[in-house]
């Protein structure tokens, strides 16, 4: 994360301030502004400008007006968007440190802060001229009027985790092989306080994880199966919650090479589900939530090498089911299926998987929401949908009706890995369902894990979607 967030107990007149204010409540102004500044501010508020920049010899003041917009969900999102929008003005004046102060009767400061920090994110690792590209803003001091120390620190951890997820997605495959991703995960585990066990190719073969082995056949690089575990002493859950993340570090489609122009360009992001899961573990461990969580990440690239698996092949999965592979580009479900079967040994309370699984999920909802489906209780679904509105990573449920499963019937094996031309996100979900025997939810994040252009504080490339969602859900679990 390239913005330092610190808690501040006092601010001085020489500090650059951002003050959040209502449009018609200026009781706070007398102690901070001059009379003429206050008059200027009131006139600006009448004209409904969104913010006012008051230049001073030392310590400029930005007054940001925030309006309530119908629902909490939308008002909070508007505060995040405003946080991102103020960044361009901050950098225009080359401001390095600002102090965020709340004077609004409804406190949206932490959402505003979230928009600022996430919008200020940059991935500059591969530029030679980093110095010229880097944003000026380095630190946000958060005044006590904006939130309690514990709330600020908790949010800071979640933002660090979201940025780590973005970093992982933004790393190109030339760096992030399956082996390298395991090293990255191990280092996150070490610094944040969760354990990481990694199965190598030999172990994966010994366990007969047929889905992972098949997808890896065309690759020069070995696969990995990562097991992350966070087990606090005072866990509220008796049986663990298991998270599963698709860790395809690059998806060419394999021998069924991706047919659509340019669609391979951003397939380094096909480990977006893994990034969500790593980020969630990081946020949970840093904040020491009292929940026992295991995360499983099957990982490989998918390539048309000389030994690659081919359309028409029949493979035997880790659970013993046979699968006729009719399209090697439907590889995500094969590696996830092995992980979902592995999850059974934990007798989990709930399993949640995240995957950039289908183009049809992206076509259905674009970047605005994730498709989800599964057999978990309505109570669980309602809670996660609410978290989705609160953090503005919204969810739309799709049905797993049995008729969709008919599309996966194979002539020669237990099932095939390809459904019909429509409702691809559901047939993919039906495929996964076959490998589950516990309360389960599946999130298809193909539309929102990676953006070609920025969407406000969701900067372009990896978004880290799902981390804020899962943290909110687990915090309230
Ligand atoms: N990784 C892709 C899905 C994807 C598409 C992610 C667009 C992000 C953006 C996945 O492995 C895939 O290729 N799915 C195929 C499945 C099809 C062959 C059944 C798809 O959706 O086209
Ligand atoms: Zn694919
Ligand atoms: Zn894929």
Beta-carbon neighbours within 5 Å of ion ligand 3: 248, 251, 270, 332
Residues with CB under 6 A from ligand 1: 251, 270, 327, 329-332, 356-360, 362, 418, 424, 446
In ligand 1, the atom with minimum distance to the C-alpha of 253 is 13
Here the tokens at position 365 are 């909802």
What pLDDT band is residue 314 in, cutting at 50, 70 and 90?
very high
- Tell me the pLDDT tens digit for each residue of 45-98: 999 999 999 988 889 999 999 999 889 999 999 999 999 999 999 998 999 999
- CA angle in degrees (0–180, nearest 5) for 112-52-39: 130
Q: How far is the CA of 320 from the centre of ligand 2 (A)?
A: 23
Q: How far is CA 381 from CA 84, 235, 373, 388, in A?
A: 30, 22, 9, 10
Annotated active-site residue 130? The verdict is no
Q: How far is the CA of 424 from the centre of ligand 3 (A)?
A: 13
In ligand 1, the atom with minimum distance to the C-alpha of 258 is 13
- List the catalytic residue out of 258, 344, 381, 383: 258
Query: CA-to-CA distance for 124 and 140, rounded, in angstroms?
Result: 20
Q: Whose CA is nearest to atom 13 of ligand 1?
A: 329
Q: Whose CA is nearest to atom 3 of ligand 1?
A: 358
Here the tokens at position 410 are 């194979």
- Tell me the pLDDT tens digit for each residue of 120-146: 999 999 999 999 999 999 999 999 999
Contact by Cβ (8 Å): 197, 227: yes
Ligand nearest to the CA of residue 371, numbered in listed order: 1
Query: CA-to-CA distance for 119 and 116, rounded, in angstroms?
Result: 5
Tell which one of 263, 357, 416, 452 to mutate to probe ligand 1, the residue whose CB is within 8 A of the most ligand atoms: 357
**Terminal Cα-to-Cα distance of the chain (whole angstroms):** 27
Q: Whose CA is nearest to atom 7 of ligand 1?
A: 359
Confidence (pTM): 0.97
DSSP string, 199-251: E-HHHHHHTT-HHHHHHHTT-SS--EEEEEEE--TT-S-SS-EEEEE-EEEEE
- Tell me the pLDDT tens digit for each residue of 456-471: 999 999 999 999 999 9
Q: How far is CA 330 from CA 101, 122, 272, 305, in A?
A: 50, 32, 16, 16
E strands in 42-129: 51-54, 61-65, 97-102
- The reported pLDDT for the residue numbered 209 is 98
In ligand 1, the atom with minimum distance to the C-alpha of 360 is 21
Q: Whose CA is nearest to atom 16 of ligand 1?
A: 330
For the residues 422-432, what does the mean pLDDT come to?
98
C-alpha of 356 from chain center? 11
31 phi/psi in degrees, rounded to 5: -80, -10
- Tell me the pLDDT tens digit for each residue of 190-244: 999 999 999 999 999 999 999 999 999 999 999 999 999 999 999 999 999 999 9
Annotated active-site residue 475? The verdict is no
What pLDDT band is residue 338 in, cutting at 50, 70 and 90?
very high
In ligand 1, the atom with minimum distance to the C-alpha of 361 is 21
- The reported pLDDT for the residue numbered 358 is 98
Q: How far is CA 331 from CA 246, 310, 386, in A?
A: 10, 11, 31
- The reported pLDDT for the residue numbered 12 is 87
Q: Is 281 left (phi over 0), alpha (psi -120 to 50) or beta?
A: alpha
Query: CA-to-CA distance for 162 and 362, rounded, in angstroms?
Result: 21
Query: CA-to-CA distance for 229 and 384, rounded, in angstroms?
Result: 22
- The reported pLDDT for the residue numbered 13 is 82
Query: CA-to-CA distance for 225 and 231, rounded, in angstroms?
Result: 19
């Amino acid at each position: 994360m390239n913005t330092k967030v610190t808690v501040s107990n006092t601010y001085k007149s020489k500090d650059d301030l951002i003050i959040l204010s209502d449009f018609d409540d200026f009781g706070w102004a007398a102690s901070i502004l001059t009379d003429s500044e206050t008059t200027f501010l009131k006139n600006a508020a009448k004209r409904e400008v969104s913010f006012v920049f008051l230049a001073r010899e030392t310590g400029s003041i930005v007054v940001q007006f925030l309006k309530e917009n119908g629902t909490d969900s939308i008002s909070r999102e508007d505060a995040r968007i405003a946080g991102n929008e103020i960044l361009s003005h901050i950098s225009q004046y080359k401001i390095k440190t600002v102090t965020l102060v709340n004077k609004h009767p409804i406190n949206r400061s932490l959402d505003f802060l979230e928009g600022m920090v996430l919008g200020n994110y940059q991935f500059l690792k591969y530029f030679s001229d980093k110095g010229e590209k880097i944003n000026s803003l380095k630190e946000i001091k958060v005044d006590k009027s904006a939130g309690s120390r514990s709330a600020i620190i908790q949010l800071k951890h979640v933002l660090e985790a979201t940025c780590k997820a973005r970093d992982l997605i933004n790393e190109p495959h030339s760096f992030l092989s399956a082996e390298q991703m395991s090293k990255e995960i191990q280092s996150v585990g070490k610094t944040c306080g969760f354990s990481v066990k990694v199965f190598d190719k030999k172990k994966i073969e010994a366990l007969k994880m047929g889905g992972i082995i098949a997808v890896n056949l065309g690759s020069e690089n070995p696969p990995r199966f990562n097991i992350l575990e966070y087990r606090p002493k005072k866990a509220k859950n008796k049986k663990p919650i298991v998270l599963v993340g698709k860790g395809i570090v690059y998806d060419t489609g394999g021998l069924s090479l991706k047919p659509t122009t340019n669609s391979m360009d951003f397939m380094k992001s096909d480990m977006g589900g893994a990034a969500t899961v790593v980020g969630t573990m990081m946020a949970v461990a840093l904040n020491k939530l009292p929940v026992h969580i295991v995360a499983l990440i099957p990982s490989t690239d998918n390539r048309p090498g000389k030994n690659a698996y081919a359309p028409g092949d029949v493979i035997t999965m880790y659970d013993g089911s046979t699968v006729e592979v009719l399209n090697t580009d439907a590889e995500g479900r094969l590696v996830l299926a092995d992980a979902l079967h592995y999850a059974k040994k934990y007798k989990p309370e709930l399993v949640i998987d995240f995957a950039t699984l289908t183009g049809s999920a992206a076509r259905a909802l674009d970047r605005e929401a994730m498709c989800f489906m599964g057999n978990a209780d309505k109570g669980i679904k309602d809670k996660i949908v609410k978290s989705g509105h609160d953090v503005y990573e919204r969810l739309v449920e799709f049905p797993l009706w049995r008729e969709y499963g008919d599309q996966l019937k194979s002539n020669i094996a237990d099932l095939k890995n390809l459904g019909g031309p429509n409702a691809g996100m559901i047939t993919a979900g039906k495929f996964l369902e076959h490998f589950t025997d516990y309360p389960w939810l599946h999130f298809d994040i193909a539309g929102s894990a990676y953006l070609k252009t920025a969407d406000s504080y969701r900067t372009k490339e990896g978004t880290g979607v799902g981390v804020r969602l899962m943290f909110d859900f687990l915090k309230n679990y």
